[in-house]
Amino acid sequence: MLWTVAGQGIYSAAQWLMVIILARSGGAVDVGLYSLGLALTAPLFLLLGLQLRAVQATDAQHRFEFRDYAALRVPSMILGLGVTAALAWLYPHASGPVWWLGVAKALEGGSDLVYGLMQQRERLDWIAQSTLLRGLLGLALLAGVYQLTGDLTLAAMGVAAAGLITLLLFDVPRARRLVTGHWWTWPPSSTLLRLALPLGVVIGLVSLGTNLPRLFVERLLGGEALGIYAALSYVTVAGSVFVVALGTALTTRLSQMFARGDRAGFMRLTLMLMAGAGGVGLLLTLLSAVAGAPLLSLLYGPAYAEHARTFFWLTLAGAAGYLSSSLGFAVTAARRFREQLPLFAGVTAVLALACWWFIPRFGLLGAAAATLTGAITQLLGSWLIVGQALAAPAAEQSAPFPDESGPSSPDSLSGAP
């Protein structure tokens, strides 16, 4: 847990510092273009990634070999690059950042494939070291290139270079120590594809829900408004790191309680997890209410301080998101997998309608209101699923497919940014 918290915490901090550097040195327009690139590529590559890391890490019976996962992941990342090229053509004003951030996501997908192997062999320290290295190296290359050239495309290329260096010099050599022999087979396993596809759709919807308001803001209000909105929303990422770490630490105990029929203990621990997540959200919301403008001015510059009211509503949305994330871990522990797809499909639909209604009328404040609406919808839906799980007979379990007890990743259910 300590390695995971350190790796993810430093990686998230590095991503946030990238935004701060772009805001301080280049302004809201470049932050908007960078955020647009991430908003377009992140859901795509998470969808195509199929959560193979989660499937591989929980394959206790070793039904599939590493080469089976590689045979599915490599073509999907190539497909992702093809779609990225089309997206770059559709967004010519952001084509450079979109393309290179897509390349970075494809390389990250290669590392994620190795992470599944490392997690299966209980080498979470290697995963954390790789994540930390990729985050710090990406930050250094983006900051250095951007300060020297002022070119966002070259800076995004630096992020991709960091992913390539980490994959080739750190991840692949360690994977070779865990798996020898051939790493490739063809054709890909159709059984593995059927197992992983619904999980990929779920995590794709989660990521789309995070990025949907940004896409609406860019389309309706412009790139500069997107840059401001993205910078404001990144502050809530700090709290999500703590919530995900806490939920990850408690998921195993929650699952044990539910499996042995200790519904009271399961509910008590779930409420404790929600209390911790809610406490983080409350502190962040109070901070934004008391010192929102000075904090934004310190982080990004005086121009961002004018949007303190939007920042407050975003922290409210973050607090609701933390609560729904904590319930997501409870849903995972209760093995309610099938219910996730309709839940996140519904959340995405509600969020899209809220963006369509609020943003044209209220601008960035409307985007924050839409984000809050989506978070509350996810919170209520997750609570309903947990309630159904507690009311079900103790022996009843849910699986993602018939005759499969497929895995689920806490991150995919939490909806954390």
Q: Is the pLDDT of residue 405 over 60?
A: no
Q: Is the pLDDT of residue 415 over 60?
A: no
- Cβ contacts of 162 within 8 Å, gap of 6 or more: 104, 134, 137, 138, 140, 141
Model confidence band, residue 212 (pLDDT cutoffs 50, 70, 90): confident
Model confidence band, residue 252 (pLDDT cutoffs 50, 70, 90): low
Model confidence band, residue 255 (pLDDT cutoffs 50, 70, 90): confident
CA distance 313 to 367: 9
- Cβ contacts of 84 within 8 Å, gap of 6 or more: 40, 41, 44, 98, 99, 102, 103, 105, 106
Model confidence band, residue 1 (pLDDT cutoffs 50, 70, 90): low
Model confidence band, residue 413 (pLDDT cutoffs 50, 70, 90): very low
Give how far the C-alpha of residue 396 lies from the chain's centroid of Cα atoms, to the nearest Å: 30
Length of the chain: 417
CA distance 41 to 258: 37
Of the chain, the end-to-end C-alpha distance in Å amounts to 19
Model confidence band, residue 409 (pLDDT cutoffs 50, 70, 90): very low
Which alpha helices (DSSP H) does 234-306 contain, by range? 237-259, 263-299, 302-305
Q: Is the pLDDT of residue 387 over 90?
A: no
Q: Is the pLDDT of residue 373 over 90?
A: yes
Q: Which segment, 204-208, 375-379, 408-412, is predicted with the most confidence on average?
A: 375-379
Q: pLDDT digit string (tens) for 145-163?
A: 998 888 889 999 999 999 9
Is this model's pTM higher than 0.85 or not? no
Model confidence band, residue 398 (pLDDT cutoffs 50, 70, 90): very low
Q: Is the pLDDT of residue 414 over 60?
A: no
Locate the domains of the chain by residue range. Answer: 1-188, 212-417
Region 339-346 average pLDDT: 85
Q: Is the pLDDT of residue 266 over 70?
A: yes
Identify the DSSP state of 401: B
Radius of gyration of the chain (CA): 21
In this predicted structure, what is the pLDDT of residue 394? 57
